[in-house]
Structure 1
Amino acid sequence: MHSAEDVMATVHPTMVDWEPPVGPAQRIEVSGEQLYGRACVRCGCQLDGLMDSGYVYTTTTAGARLPWPVKACPHHTVQGAA
């Protein structure tokens, strides 16, 4: 039997609601790697130095919102964003 993490890591990109640390919420598409914080939530790179970058929310079939802490590369963090 596969874990939820195994399933999500192989799922095609999905639309989520992202609430960054600063600024308005956004509707974005993410991969399983981005959802699990192993890749930048904005560009998908897997560089060292990924930093916390808020949460994305997925919705269950019952309508519950599930929070997922995400990471961003130095270029896409609040301090590095232009």
Structure 2
Amino acid sequence: MSETFDAIVIGGGVIGASTLFQLTELGCRKALLIERGEIAGGMTAHSSGIVRTHYSVPANVEIARASLAMFERFRDLCC
């Protein structure tokens, strides 16, 4: 018997993990994350991981502020 999924995310770095998180927030309960190595073991693990909030384009400022707010309450969002 084969199992089916509503979504399959390939890559367990920051983009793949975020995609899976957002899918579950939207109600997707049959999602699969596929990673050939360790989760966040590729480029995500080697990035500086800065959170920048200073931009000259107003839309980028709004996105950065929303991202920072989410980052600050991440434990409440996922745990």
TM-score bracket, shorter-length normalisation: under 0.3
| Greater helix proportion | 2
TM-score after normalising by structure 1: 0.19
Question: Looking at CA atoms only, which structure, 1 or 2, has the larger radius of gyration?
Answer: 2
* Higher percent of residues as strand: 1
